[in-house]
Structure 1
Amino acid sequence: MERKTFALGDIVQMKKPHPCGTNAWKVIRMGADIRIKCTGCDHSVLIPRLEFERKMKKVLVQAHPENQDQQG
């Protein structure tokens, strides 16, 4: 199975929505643990990296999209 890629500042969708009804989270800390903040109510959660990768569905918005058309 391919490993999911995400970066600091990305907005991600989790498999289950937050109790406030929003299913968009911003990645605000990366390391052995990932801290995400709900974009609806600003509640933050600290999740171990492996658990986060299992529960993340997809990246909705990339913070720094890669420009692949640039050649250098």
Structure 2
Amino acid sequence: MEEKQFALHDVVEMKKAHPCGTNRWKIIRLGMDIRIKCEGCGHSVMLPRREFTKKMKRVVTESGD
């Protein structure tokens, strides 16, 4: 299985929706843990990289960097 590619400031779609109703998140920190921010309500969550890659569906928009 190919490894998912993502970068800082990418907007990603998660498999499950956030309680606010959207499933689009912006990556705001990369490392061993990944912090993502909800595009709907602004709530941020930190996930271990392994858990994030399991829960991520696809990259919606890539950063311009």
Indicate the residue corresponding to 2:52 in structure 1: 52
Distance, in Å, in 2 between the alignment partners of 1:48 and 1:15 is 16
2:21 aligned partner: 21
- TM-align CA RMSD: 0.9
TM-score, structure 1 as length reference: 0.88
Residues 17-45 of structure 1 deviation map (CA, whole Å, 9 limit, x = unaligned): 00000110000000000000000000000
Q: What percentage of residue pairs aligned between the two structures are identical?
A: 63
TM-score (norm 2): 0.97
The equivalent of 1:42 in structure 2 is 42
* Partners of 1:23 and 1:32 in 2: CA distance: 22
> Given residue 4 of structure 2, which amino acid in structure 1 is its aligned partner?
K
Listed as ranges, the gaps of 5+ residues in structure 2 are none
C-alpha distance after superposition, 1:4-61 (max 9, x if no partner): 0000000000000000001100000000000000000000000000000000000000
Higher Cα Rg, which structure: 1
